[in-house]
Every structure is written in structure tokens, then in C-alpha cells.
Amino acid sequence: MKVDVFNMEGKKIKQVELSATVFEAPINVDLMHQAYIRQMANARLGTHDTKTRHEVAGGGRKPWKQKGTGRARQGSTRAAQWVGGGRIHTPHPRSYEQRMPLKMRRAALRSALSVKAAEAGIIVVDELKLAEPKTKLMSQALNRLVGESTALVVIPEKSAEYDGVVRSASNLDDAKVLLAGYLNIRDLLGYEKVILPLKALDVLTAHLG
């Protein structure tokens, strides 16, 4: 598959061939769904907690004697049926972590990238450079490249060369900058277009191919 390569002005300068292994892989919807659910589950803190009858304050004395009152027997005012009592079958701290083999995670990424490529959602640029780190300049560049679509901007590495791009995009609601090594299924499916500099394209091809 060949795609056009643009500059930051939105002008086509050449073409590049995408790796068939990464961008024309078999599309497995179930695998992508599993990877997405795993990522969302692993992001949960699991710090929720409720108190049982043994943890709430008070209730140490039996409210009335066992027999002779005509009322139901009660052992504590902190049992679940009492106002202010403990809770039953409610959340307690736990881990929501789900495991998924590395090969499956990478296959899911290849599948998602293939979907983007098939829908013309991969935008390749020769390099990411701004005259100065300004949100307005970044917004104008993205508008020339993807129009009104949301964009995931993938950079090859964290370096001074891309600091201006990261800072300029930080205030844009419809764009996100992400390291190629941190590419994930949630961001791939969450943005309409993926902007790849040639260097980032090489990193992805080496990592997933």
C-alpha cells in the first residue's frame, strides 16, 4: 500500500510504501475488543471501599433483650438492615488487572492500524516542525492535514526536536501527541486520523513488523 507524504503545509511531496505486515494485517475485531477492554480494566484503580458491620462505628450493645418484647431479635444496630449499619456484597479494594500475551497485543495494534489504513486514516508527514511552539500554529497545521477530524500525532522519540509539538498540542481538545513506543488500542480507536512522521513510521514498522 502506497500513501502520500505531506509537509506541514499540507502539500504532497512524495509517496511512501507502508509495510504490509503492519498496515495490511488481518482485521480481528474480537482481538481489538479484548485489547481495549484489557486496557480500560488495567486503568481502574480499584480503591473503592465500603464498610461491613464489623467496620462501622457503634453497635456494640444488643438493642433489646432476645425474648419477650414482641419485636424481631436483633444483635446489633450496625447490622445491614439498620440505618447506619454495614453493607453487604458492596465494593472493596481489588485489582481489575487483565493479562494478555504480548503477541496478541501487538496483533491487535496491527489490526487497528490496518483498519485506519483501509479507511485512509493514516496521514504521513515528512517531519514535524513548527516555527515556534504555539497552539495556533499547531492547530493550523492539523487543519491543513486532517481538516476537522480528530488527530493522534505519533512522534518517534522524546527529544528537544519534538518538544515544541508536544507543548503546542497540549491545549488542543481534538488532538493528542503520543510516543510511538506507547501506541495503544484505545488511542488508535479514539481518534479519526493518525499522523505519522517518517521516523515514527520506521519505529512502528520495526516494533510491530
Q: What are the grid coordinates assigned to 166, written together?
A: 508536544
Residue 153's pLDDT is 95
- pLDDT confidence of residue 60: 87
> Which pTM value belongs to this model?
0.84
DSSP letter for each residue of 59-103: --S-SS-SSSSSSPP-S-TTSTTSTT---SS------------HH
CA–CA separation, 133 vs 116, rounded Å?
A: 28
- Please report the pLDDT score of residue 128 as a whole number: 87
Q: Is residue 141 part of a domain?
A: yes
Q: Which amino acid is at 35?
A: A
* Structural domains in the chain (count): 1
Asked if residue 84 lies in contact with residue 56, where contact means CB atoms within 8 angstroms, the answer is yes
Domain annotation covers residue 122: yes
Residues sharing a CB contact under 8 Å with residue 86, sequence separation 6 or more, in sequence order: 51, 52, 53, 54, 55, 56, 78, 79, 80
Residue 49 belongs to a domain: no
Round to whole Å and give the CA distance between 51 and 198.
55
**Is 73 within a domain?**
no
Q: At 116, which CATH number?
A: 3.40.1370.10
Whether 87 is covered by a domain: the verdict is: no
In a domain, 80, yes or no: no
Residue 131: its pLDDT value, please? 84
pLDDT means per 10 residues, the chain with 209 residues, are 90 92 95 97 96 92 94 94 94 96 96 94 91 91 93 92 90 93 94 94 91
Range of 171's domain?
2-29+100-208
Residue 86 lies in a domain: no
Give the CA distances from residue 127 to residues 6, 19, 24, 162, in Å, rounded to whole numbers and listed in that order: 9, 19, 24, 10
Residue type, 94: R
- Cβ-based neighbours of 12, under 8 Å, separated by 6 or more: 4, 5, 6
User: What H or E segment, with its residue span, contains residue 124?
Assistant: strand 122-125
Residue 39 lies in a domain: no
